[in-house]
Amino acid sequence: MTRVLRTLAAGVVTAVTWAADLAYACPSCASPLEENRQAFVDTTVFLTVVPLMMMGGFVWWLRRRIRALEDVPEITVPESLLRDAGPFSKGP
Amino acid sequence: MPDDALGRPFGVPARREPVLPNGVLGMLIFVATEVMFFSGLISAFVIGKSNAIGGWPPPGQPRLPIEETALNTVALLASGVALYFANRAFKNDSPNTKRLLLLSIALGGFFVLFQGAEWVALIGEGLTITSGQLGGFFYLLVGTHALHVAAGFLILLYTYRRLSHDDLDRFTFWPAQIFWYFVVGVWPILYWQVYL
């Protein structure tokens, strides 16, 4: 980006920041209705907990799956060898 | 060359199954964004409902068909259960897989058609997307879900086609299931919030 463009961009950002007014994005925050305020709190909690639960659930599931896959032997061995492995034998 | 109990040749390093196949990872990320999308819609609805003057549902607006939709909810949940058993049958190479998958698709199709009929009746009673807050929220939430059901229905049809051609592997079936379970799982929450 050239120097002129950079200066222009900085000027536009400054002008927009200067001209911006307050944004009332939350109609419930200052509501006199108790039910409305409670709904706002409930949805805030809900929207906070849901992604955390998703991430936690994913990590838990991934850990379980890795452990399950680790149980599969990497190199194949004859069934008879597994059967004759003494106390570690899986045979009768 | 002799094989081991799993049919693999001796001495050759076993090819390990991927921890997370690409299709599954992609679908999980997509479903996570969808969960947040629906969470946002439901949150907006809850705030809008609590903000309504004169109580909810607003007076003078048609009532939503609670009992009929309860039946439709059961159909969608049954579709999810049928898919679960279809997957079990698929793992066991059972010939029931096709039948169960078809049952799941049919129940999903029933849900979409039933909802279409419900919408026609509601529009006839005067509930449109511009008739008020109830209509606006109803068609936004339920309509968005209906679009997802239609998409899931097509995905399941594609899966069935692959199965019919003996071309279905579990890494294709798995993401399809994740999407359908999401569609089925989110509906009872919408039903509880919007209809009850």
Taking residues A30-50, report their average pLDDT.
Answer: 84
Taking residues B39-64, report their average pLDDT.
Answer: 86
pLDDT exceeds cutoff 50 at A92? no
What does the pLDDT read at residue B91? 92
Query: For residue A87, what pLDDT band results from cuts at 50, 70 and 90?
Result: low
* CATH class of the domain comprising B63-195: mainly alpha
What does the pLDDT read at residue A64? 92
Facing A35 at nearest CB: one of B2, B28, B50: B50
The distance of A84 to chain B (nearest Cα, Å) reads 14
Residue of A nearest to B7 (CA): A76
Q: Is there a contact between A79 and B5 if contact means CB atoms under 8 Å apart?
A: yes
Taking residues B88-116, report their average pLDDT.
Answer: 94
Q: Which two tokens mark B152?
A: 């899931």
Q: Helix axis angle, A34-70 relative to B22-51, nearest 10°?
A: 170
Query: For residue B3, what pLDDT band results from cuts at 50, 70 and 90?
Result: low
The span from the first CA to the last CA of chain B, in angstroms, equals: 65
Dihedral (C-alpha) B33, B34, B39, B44: value to the nearest 10 degrees?
100
Taking residues B89-112, report their average pLDDT.
Answer: 94
The distance of B179 to chain A (nearest Cα, Å) reads 15
What does the pLDDT read at residue A39? 85
Taking residues B148-172, report their average pLDDT.
Answer: 94
What does the pLDDT read at residue B62? 86
Mean pLDDT of all residues in chain B?
90
Q: Is there a contact between B19 and A27 if contact means CB atoms under 8 Å apart?
A: no
pLDDT exceeds cutoff 80 at B140? yes
Q: Is there a contact between B35 and A33 if contact means CB atoms under 8 Å apart?
A: no
Spatial neighbors of B115 by CB under 8 A, at least 6 apart, are: B72, B142, B146, B149
Residue B149 in contact with residue B169, Cβ under 8 Å? no
Residue A80 and residue A5: Cα distance in Å, rounded? 76
Collect all residues of chain B within an 8 Å Cβ-Cβ radius of residue A64.
Answer: none
Residue B189 in contact with residue B165, Cβ under 8 Å? no
Q: Which two tokens mark A1?
A: 């980006």
Rg (CA), chain B: 21
What does the pLDDT read at residue B54? 78
Mutate to test the interface with B, among A63, A76, A82 (most CBs of B within 10 A): A76
